[in-house]
Chains A and B, each alone.
Chain A
C-alpha cells in the first residue's frame, strides 16, 4: 500500500455524479464479467484444439508404449516389455545409426556454412544485401517432397547430373541409393540445401545484435578480422547458436520425408534398410503395421528421449566451447 498523495482516495466532499442506478449496475456487472472472464475465451481455442489433437495423443503415446497394442482393437498391458525388446532390436539400432549418420552429415556442414555466409552478409557496405538474403533463403520455401524429388533425379545413377559431374574427376557412376555412405550423403545434401539459408538468416540476426563499437575498439587495438570473429562474434553469438543447434537437432532427428521419397515410398529405406531413419521405423511399426502400434509408440518415446538428450548435450557443449 502506497502512502503517496497521488494514490490517496478522492475526497468524499466531491462525489462523482451518479448515473441512473439500474442501468449503471447492469452495464457495470457486464463490464466486470467481460474483464474477468473474456481473456479465457480468447485463449480457449488454442488450449481446446491443442489439448485434443496435440497433448492428448502425446500422453497416449506413453500409455500405448506400455501395451501390446493393435490399432484395430486389442491391447493388453505388458509394462516395459516394449522397451526391453527395443534394446535388443537390430532394426531399431540400424535406424538410430542411420539417423545420427545423416544428422551429422547434414548439421555440421550446414552450420559451418551458415556461420560463414552470415559473417559475409554481415558486412556493412555490402551491396544487394536483400537480394542475397532472399536468394539464400529461397530453398526453404520449397516443400520437402519437391526437394526430394528433384534431388532424387540429380542423384540418379545413369543420367543424374551429380554422377555426370563426378565423371570429370574420374569417379565412376555411384549407385547413390544402394549403399549406406552414398545414400546418407544424398539425403544429407537435401537437408543442407534446404536449411543452410534459414540458419544463415537466424545467425545473421544474432550477429546484427552485437554492438558495433566492440569491433571498433578491437580494430583500434589492432585485432585481425579472424581474431575479432573468434573473440567477439562467436562468444556474443552463443545464445543464437545454441538456438540454431537445438532447432537443427530436433529437425534432424525427426527426418522422414527426404529418405522416404528418395526410397520411392519404401518405408524400410533401401533394400537393406541402408537409410531407414527412426521416424520411418516408427511409421513402419505404428502405421504401416497396425498390430505393432504399442511397439511403435515405444520407438516414438525413445526418439523423444534421444532428441532431449542430444539437445541437452549440444547445449552444454556449445556453451562450454564458445564461452
Chain B
C-alpha cells in the first residue's frame, strides 16, 4: 500500500474512543441487569442507583422459583424444547429444499423459488388474527404445538441454504455421486449435508436465537400456566414490578444462555450475518 492510502486508512485515537464508547453503551444494560439481579430488594431504590453487583442473586432467584404464578422453570424447559425442535427442523427442511433449488432440475423451479423470496417480504403479523382462530379450532391453545408447528419451516432458511449450496457444492461432485449409482437422497445425505455444515451452523444459531426470543406469537397463544420463557418474564414483570430484583434475576437467567452461545459462536454469527448481507 502506498503512503497516501496508508494515511487514508489510518486509525486515529478518536476512532478508538468512539468505538469504546459504543461498546460501553452496548454492554451497559447487561451489566445493569446483573447489578439489579444481585442486589437485595431494598437497595435498588437507593439514590444514587447502585452501580456494583452484590451477593443477593441466590435470594432473588429463589423468589423466582417459589413464585407459582410465573411458572419460570416450565417456561425455561418449554423454551428449550421449542427452540430445539424448531432449529433442527428449519435446518433440515431448509437444507433439503435449498439443495433441490440449487442443484436439481425440475419443472417450475424458478417460479417456486421466486415465491419463497416474495414470502420473505410479507410481514407475518398480517396473518396473526386468523392464525389465532386456527389454533383455537385445532385445540392447540396453550399447548407447545401452537408455538412449534407453524415455525418448522423458514423461507429465509431455504433461501440461505440455496445461496450457500449454489457456490459451495460443485455439479461435478453430485454427478460423481450419480455415476456411483447413489440416489438423490443418498447424495443429499452423504455429499450435500456435510458440505452445507458451515451454513447450517449459522442458520441453526440464528433460528435458535430467534425462537428463544420470540414474543408476540407465544404471548398470543400461551398463558402463564404453560408459558415460554419470554412469556413468563412478561407476566413476572407485569405483576412484580415492585420486586425488580426478582424480575431481573429471572431476566438474567433467561438471557444468559444466549449470551454464552454468542460469546462461544459470536465470530461465526457475525460472519454469517455480514456474508448474508453482501449476497442479498
Residues of chain A whose beta carbon lies under 8 Å from any beta carbon of chain B:
31, 34-36, 38-40, 42-43, 45-47, 49-50, 53-58, 60-61, 64, 71, 116-117, 120-121, 123-127, 130, 132-139, 141-147, 149-154, 158-161, 164, 193, 197-198, 201-202, 204-206, 208-209, 212, 215-216, 219-220, 225, 228, 240, 243, 250, 254, 256-257, 260-261, 264-265, 279, 282-283, 286-287, 293, 296-297, 300-301, 303-304, 307
Q: Which of B46-54, B62-70, B196-204 contacts A (4 or more CB under 8 A)?
A: B46-54
Which residues from B are CB-within-8-Å of A137? 266, 269-270, 273
CB <8 Å contact, A121 and B220:
no
A205 with B9: in contact, given A42-B96, A42-B99, A264-B238 (CB under 8 Å)?
Answer: no
CB <8 Å contact, A36 and B106:
yes
- 15 A-B pairs besides A132-B22, A153-B36 with CB distance below 8 A are A35-B184, A38-B104, A42-B96, A50-B153, A58-B127, A117-B18, A123-B9, A138-B262, A150-B248, A161-B32, A254-B125, A261-B234, A282-B129, A293-B129, A303-B126
Which residues from B are CB-within-8-Å of A208? 274, 278
CB under 8 Å from chain A, chain B span 1-35: 1-2, 4-5, 7-11, 15, 18-19, 22-23, 25-27, 29-30, 32-33
Q: Is B230 an interface residue (CB 8 A)?
A: yes
Residue in chain B with minimal CB distance to A35: B184
Which of the residues B32, B158, B216, B248 comes within 8 Å of A256, measured between beta carbons? B216
CB <8 Å contact, A201 and B128:
no
CA distance A50 to B158 in the complex (A): 12
CA distance A212 to B123 in the complex (A): 37
Which residues from A are CB-within-8-Å of B248? 149-150, 153
CB <8 Å contact, A39 and B215:
no
Q: Is B114 an interface residue (CB 8 A)?
A: no
A287 with B158: in contact, given A43-B100, A50-B119, A133-B270 (CB under 8 Å)?
Answer: no
Which residues from B are CB-within-8-Å of A54? 119, 124, 127, 150
Q: Is B101 an interface residue (CB 8 A)?
A: yes
CB <8 Å contact, A136 and B155:
no
CA distance A123 to B93 in the complex (A): 39
CB <8 Å contact, A143 and B230:
yes
CB <8 Å contact, B152 and A49:
yes
CB <8 Å contact, A139 and B255:
no
Residues of chain B whose beta carbon lies under 8 Å from any beta carbon of chain A:
1-2, 4-5, 7-11, 15, 18-19, 22-23, 25-27, 29-30, 32-33, 36, 44-49, 93-94, 96-97, 99-101, 104-106, 109, 112, 116, 119, 121-134, 136, 149-150, 152-153, 155, 158, 183-185, 188, 209, 212-213, 215-216, 220, 230, 233-235, 237-238, 241, 244, 247-248, 251, 254-255, 258-259, 261-262, 266-267, 269-270, 273-275, 277-278, 280
CB <8 Å contact, A117 and B153:
no
CA distance A158 to B36 in the complex (A): 16
Residue in chain A with minimal CB distance to B233: A145
CB <8 Å contact, B128 and A125:
no
CA distance A212 to B9 in the complex (A): 10
CA distance A274 to B186 in the complex (A): 59
CB <8 Å contact, B188 and A154:
no
Which residues from B are CB-within-8-Å of A151? 29
CB <8 Å contact, B93 and A45:
yes
CA distance A198 to B276 in the complex (A): 12
CA distance A303 to B123 in the complex (A): 10
CA distance A116 to B224 in the complex (A): 43
CA distance A216 to B158 in the complex (A): 39
Which residues from A are CB-within-8-Å of B132? 71, 286-287
CB <8 Å contact, A42 and B100:
yes
Contacts A/B (CB < 8 Å), 6 sampled: A38-B183, A50-B155, A136-B19, A139-B26, A154-B29, A250-B121
CB <8 Å contact, B237 and A264:
yes
CB <8 Å contact, B128 and A141:
no
Which residues from A are CB-within-8-Å of B275? 205
Which of the residues B10, B97, B112, B278 comes within 8 Å of A125, measured between beta carbons? B10
> 9 smallest A-B Cβ distances: which pairs?
A57-B127, A53-B150, A286-B129, A143-B213, A205-B274, A124-B9, A60-B130, A42-B100, A39-B106
CB <8 Å contact, A139 and B153:
no
A164 with B47: in contact, given A153-B244, A296-B129 (CB under 8 Å)?
Answer: yes
CA distance A315 to B178 in the complex (A): 45
Q: Could you tell me the distance in whole angstroms from the C-beta of A7 to the nearest C-beta in chain B? A: 17
CA distance A130 to B19 in the complex (A): 12
CB <8 Å contact, B220 and A283:
yes
CA distance A253 to B274 in the complex (A): 24
Which of the residues B122, B234, B254 comes within 8 Å of A58, measured between beta carbons? B122
Which residues from A are CB-within-8-Å of B130? 56-57, 60-61, 64, 297
Which of the residues A57, A127, A240, A265 comes within 8 Å of B134, measured between beta carbons? A57
Which residues from A are CB-within-8-Å of B126? 57-58, 61, 300-301, 303-304
